C-alpha cells in the first residue's frame, strides 16, 4: 500500500516537471540586422517613432502568446532579412595622388587704367574690348577684364605751400570747390608740404564736415618771392664813418666788406609724393589710388630721388594727377620738361610723374580755372577704361616690365602707365 502511494506521487511530480516550458534560446544573429534605429546626434525620425509605437502595441500580444506556447517547442532564431552593409568605396591610386599632380602657378593681375583722346583733346567713349591691344615687354597679352564702370577713388590731395603769396591766395580761394568735384563714395586725405610733408587729415568722406575743416586749416599765406639783397648800401647794417657801431651786427664780425648769402629754398615735392603714396598703399585694392598735386611742380632739396618715388608708385598701382599753377602753367613748359633736354635742369617734375603713371595735368592761371580743373580731372578719372590681364612674370623679382596699350581707332592718343614692378599684393593662384 505504501509502495503504491509512493509510486503515484513520483509520477505526478514527474508530470509537473515536464509541463514547465524551457527558457527561450538566445538569438545567434549580430547587430547587423537592426533597421530603423536612431542615429546618434540626428534625433528620432518618423519611422523610428512609428516603429516604437508598433512595438509597444504588440508587446502584450507577444507576452500572452508566449505564456500559451507549448513547453516542448523552442523559439527559433530570427531570419536575417536586413540589407547587407555596402562595402566602403574603393579609392584608386590615381585619385589619392591627384593632389600631387596639381600644379599651381602664381600669376600677377595687372590693372591698367587707359584714357583715349581725339585730336581735339576730348576723351573718346564707347570703345569695345576688341579694339584694345595690350603688350608687356613687347609681347601681346590676353585681355582678362574690361570695364567702363567708375571705381571708387582714394585721393591723396597734396597742396604746395611754397608758392608765392599771390598764387597761394588763388589756390586758397579755390580749395572749397574740391569737395563738389568728386563723388560721395570717394575718399580724400589732405597733405601739405613746405619744408617737409605734413598730414592734415587721413582719408575721409567727401560729404562730411571733416574734409572742409581740413582744407580750411591747410591754407597758408605763401612765400614772399622778393629778391634778396646781397650787396650795395642796403646789404649791410648801420655804420658810422664806415665802421659798424656794434661788431656783432656786421655781416662778418668786425668787417664791413663782407657779403650776405641768400638762403636756399626748399621745395620737397618728391618727399611729399612719397609720403602721400605710403598713405595710399594702405587703402583697399578695390579702390583706385590717385595722388592729386596742386602746385608749380618744382622740387628742391628732397631726401628721396624721383626714381625711387616712381618705383614705389608703379609697384602699388598709384597714378599722379595735378593742377599746375604759377610760372609752370606757362604754355610749353610741360612739353619741354617731358623732353628731358640734356645739360638743362628740370624745374617741373610733375609731367614725368603723370606720364609714367598714366596721370594727367591741367595748367591754370586764374581762380576759376583752378576750380574747373578739379571738375575736369575728376570727370576724366570716371571716364577711363580699365583693362586687366594676368602676367606670368616672377612675383619676387624687382625687374621693371613695360606696358604698351594700342587702340584700333585712327587719329587718337592713348594714355596709360608705362610699366609696373611686380608686387606680392597682386599675386593670385
Q: What mean pLDDT value characterizes the chain?
A: 78
pLDDT at 306 over 50: yes
**Residue 321: pLDDT band by 50, 70, 90 thresholds?**
very high
Q: What is the pTM of this model?
A: 0.69
Cell of 274: 612719397
- The segment with the largest mean pLDDT, out of 175-184, 271-280, 331-340, is 271-280
Distances (CA, A) of 221 to 161, 229, 259, 345: 8, 22, 30, 28
Distances (CA, A) of 83 to 35, 86, 133, 153: 9, 9, 65, 66
Angle between helices 350-357 and 306-315 (to 10 degrees): 30
Q: How far apart are CA 383 and CA 124, in angstroms?
A: 9
Q: CA-based diameter of the chain, in Å?
A: 182
Does 323 or 28 have the greater pLDDT score?
323
* 180-187 average pLDDT score: 94
- Strands 139-140 and 132-136 turn out to be antiparallel
Q: How far apart are CA 342 and CA 134, in angstroms?
A: 32
Residue that is written with C-alpha cell 507549448 in the block: 70
Q: Nearest to residue 302, comparing CAs of 324, 323, 345, 273?
A: 273
pLDDT tens figures, 360-400: 999 998 999 999 999 999 999 999 999 999 998 887 778 99
> Does residue 254 contact residue 199 with C-beta atoms inside 8 Å?
no
pLDDT tens figures, 206-244: 988 999 999 999 999 988 765 555 556 666 566 777 676
**Residue 3: pLDDT band by 50, 70, 90 thresholds?**
low
Does 125 or 106 have the greater pLDDT score?
125
Q: Nearest to residue 229, comparing CAs of 250, 259, 205?
A: 259
pLDDT at 347 over 80: no
**Residue 424: pLDDT band by 50, 70, 90 thresholds?**
confident
Q: How far apart are CA 293 and CA 416, in angstroms?
A: 19
- Strands 419-420 and 361-363 turn out to be unpaired
**Separation of first and last alpha carbons in the chain:** 110
Amino acid at each position: 500500500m505504501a509502495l503504491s502511494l509512493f509510486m503515484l506521487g513520483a509520477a505526478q511530480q514527474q508530470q509537473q516537471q515536464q509541463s514547465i516550458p524551457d527558457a527561450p534560446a538566445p538569438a545567434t544573429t549580430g547587430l547587423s540586422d537592426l533597421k530603423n534605429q536612431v542615429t546618434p546626434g540626428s534625433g528620432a525620425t518618423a519611422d523610428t517613432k512609428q516603429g516604437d509605437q508598433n512595438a509597444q502595441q504588440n508587446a502584450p500580444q507577444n507576452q500572452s502568446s508566449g505564456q500559451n506556447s507549448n513547453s516542448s517547442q523552442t523559439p527559433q532564431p530570427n531570419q536575417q532579412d536586413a540589407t547587407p552593409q555596402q562595402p566602403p568605396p574603393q579609392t584608386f591610386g590615381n585619385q589619392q595622388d591627384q593632389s600631387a599632380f596639381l600644379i599651381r602657378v602664381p600669376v600677377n593681375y595687372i590693372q591698367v587704367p587707359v584714357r583715349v583722346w581725339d585730336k581735339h583733346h576730348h576723351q573718346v567713349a564707347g570703345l569695345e574690348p576688341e579694339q584694345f591691344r595690350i603688350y608687356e615687354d613687347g609681347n601681346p597679352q590676353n585681355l582678362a577684364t574690361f570695364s567702363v564702370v567708375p571705381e571708387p577713388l582714394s585721393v591723396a590731395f597734396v597742396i604746395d605751400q611754397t608758392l608765392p603769396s599771390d598764387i597761394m591766395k588763388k589756390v586758397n580761394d579755390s580749395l572749397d570747390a574740391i569737395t563738389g568735384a568728386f563723388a560721395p563714395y570717394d575718399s580724400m586725405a589732405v597733405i601739405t608740404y613746405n619744408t617737409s610733408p605734413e598730414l592734415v587729415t587721413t582719408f575721409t568722406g567727401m560729404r562730411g564736415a571733416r574734409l572742409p575743416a581740413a582744407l580750411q586749416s591747410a591754407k597758408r599765406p605763401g612765400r614772399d618771392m622778393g629778391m634778396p639783397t646781397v650787396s650795395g648800401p642796403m646789404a649791410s647794417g648801420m655804420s658810422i664813418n664806415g665802421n659798424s657801431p656794434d661788431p656783432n651786427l656786421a655781416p662778418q664780425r668786425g668787417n664791413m666788406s663782407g657779403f650776405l648769402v641768400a638762403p636756399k629754398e626748399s621745395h620737397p615735392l618728391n618727399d611729399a609724393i612719397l609720403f602721400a603714396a605710403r598713405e595710399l598703399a594702405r587703402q583697399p585694392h578695390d579702390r583706385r589710388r590717385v595722388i592729386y598735386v596742386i602746385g608749380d611742380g618744382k622740387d628742391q632739396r628732397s631726401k628721396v630721388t624721383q626714381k625711387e618715388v616712381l618705383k614705389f608708385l608703379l609697384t602699388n598701382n598709384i597714378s599722379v594727377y595735378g593742377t599746375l599753377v604759377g610760372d609752370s602753367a606757362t604754355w610749353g613748359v610741360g612739353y619741354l620738361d617731358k623732353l628731358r633736354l640734356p645739360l638743362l635742369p628740370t624745374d617741373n617734375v610733375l609731367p614725368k610723374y603723370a606720364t609714367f603713371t598714366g596721370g594727367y595735368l591741367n595748367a591754370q592761371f586764374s581762380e576759376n580755372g583752378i576750380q574747373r580743373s578739379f571738375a575736369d580731372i575728376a570727370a576724366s578719372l570716371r571716364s577711363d577704361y580699365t583693362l586687366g590681364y594676368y602676367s606670368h612674370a616672377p612675383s619676387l623679382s624687382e625687374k621693371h616690365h613695360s606696358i604698351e596699350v594700342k587702340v584700333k581707332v585712327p587719329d587718337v592718343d592713348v594714355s596709360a602707365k608705362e610699366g609696373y614692378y611686380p608686387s606680392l599684393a597682386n599675386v593670385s593662384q
